[in-house]
Amino acid sequence: MWLINCRTLVLEELVNHKEAKYAILSHTWEKGEEVQYGEFNNRGATGKRGWQKIGKTCQLALNDGCDFAWVDTCCIDKTSSAELTEAINSTFPWYSGSEVCYTYLADYDASDPDADMSESRWFTRGWTLQELIAPAQVRFYDKSWNPIGTKDILSQQLSLITGIGQEVLLASKNRHLEEILNQVPIARRMSWAAKRETTRIEDIAYCLIGIFGINLPLLYGEGERAFIRLQEEVVKNSNDLSLLAWKSPKDEIPTNLDRICGVFAQHPRDFQASDNLALINDIKFAPGFTLTNKGLKIHTQLCFDRTENLHVLDINCYDVVCPQNMLGIFLKHQGARIFARARPRVCSPPCQARRTH
């Protein structure tokens, strides 16, 4: 891990991030204005706006008693694939291990009465999701580096903007974050990224690694397959069936209502309607499932919906807006005890339309 010495503005390498007391920056990149690893070392970009962000971060860090700071633009040697992979898989614990995180909203002016903090680009980026959740202490600053408030003070407003529960936003303060995150259904955690974007297609998966406590090799160039790999890795660590509680936007087109597809979602946006899901039973009572070369293997009972002429798999969750019905997904029998996802949308089949099969 490379850290900036806040007094000398020189990069120093530490094997264990826990050995240093450091501050960390969360921000959005400006094209052509960020200071990269090589530029920082040779002081070739002091005229860029990104250099001002680095300087301000170091100044704030020293004021908070931190000798070091970490800024993603210049503290990762992106020409090294090994270092980039390590950094992306370690970003969540690095933010979690910081003394304080400074969140810089470059497009928000707190002195403008008509300005709306929720419209800041920072709330639309994939990488800033974990940067909000992981650190114990987060301080927000506007475009002129005027303090706006802390994550604790702004937790209610931040929850409304992001859809993340206050219990999650405040959990890291008491270092109970992992425990709290594991209590949130997988589909609901996916929904936090439903409206977020990344510059590279694969990063919408990679930016969620820390949210699910997994590691993932980076394969830039694989496109949407990265998000499938993320879900496959999640399956290895949890039997939470809410992972299947997604709704494909393509299914809104009437001509596509009868299509069948794979069991995994294509993008976090497919979980947009899952922001109010809750589990019916603890996942320890849910059936176990494994990933095979034929798909997911689950030992459970299926119901049959006569109206739709499709099977229904209950997924152990419900929408708190309509708590009376358990949610399920439609399956179409392909023969030989193999089923495909049909009409890929979260549904609530009426009990009278079911019979055990």
DSSP 8-state class, residue 268 = G
Q: What's the confidence (pLDDT) of residue 353?
A: 40
| Cα gap 174→172, rounded to integer Å | 5
> Average per-residue pLDDT in the chain?
90
Q: What's the confidence (pLDDT) of residue 348?
A: 58
Distances in Å between the Cα of 125 and the Cα atoms of 132, 162, 203 are: 11, 11, 10
Q: What's the confidence (pLDDT) of residue 256?
A: 53
Task: Find the largest Cα–Cα distance for the chain.
Answer: 72
Tokens of 170: 């405040």
pTM: 0.91
Amino acid at residue number 161: I
Distances in Å between the Cα of 111 and the Cα atoms of 116, 117, 157, 160, 242 are: 11, 11, 18, 22, 43
**What does each of the 357 residues of the chain score in pLDDT, given as a tens digit?**
999 999 999 999 988 888 899 999 999 999 999 999 999 988 878 889 999 999 999 999 999 999 999 999 999 999 999 999 999 999 999 999 999 999 999 999 999 999 999 999 999 999 999 999 999 999 999 999 999 999 999 999 999 999 999 999 998 665 688 889 999 999 999 999 999 999 999 999 999 999 999 999 999 999 999 999 999 999 999 999 999 999 887 655 544 556 778 889 999 999 998 999 999 888 877 778 888 888 889 888 888 888 888 899 989 888 888 777 778 899 999 988 899 998 887 565 544 444 444
Q: Which of 52, 87, 74, 85 is CA-nearest to residue 5?
A: 74
DSSP 8-state class, residue 288 = P
* Total residues found in the chain within this entry: 357
* 182-219 residue pLDDT tens: 999 999 999 999 999 999 999 999 999 999 999 999 99
Q: How many CB atoms lie within 10 A of CB 206?
A: 25
| Cα gap 201→197, rounded to integer Å | 9
Q: What's the confidence (pLDDT) of residue 243?
A: 94
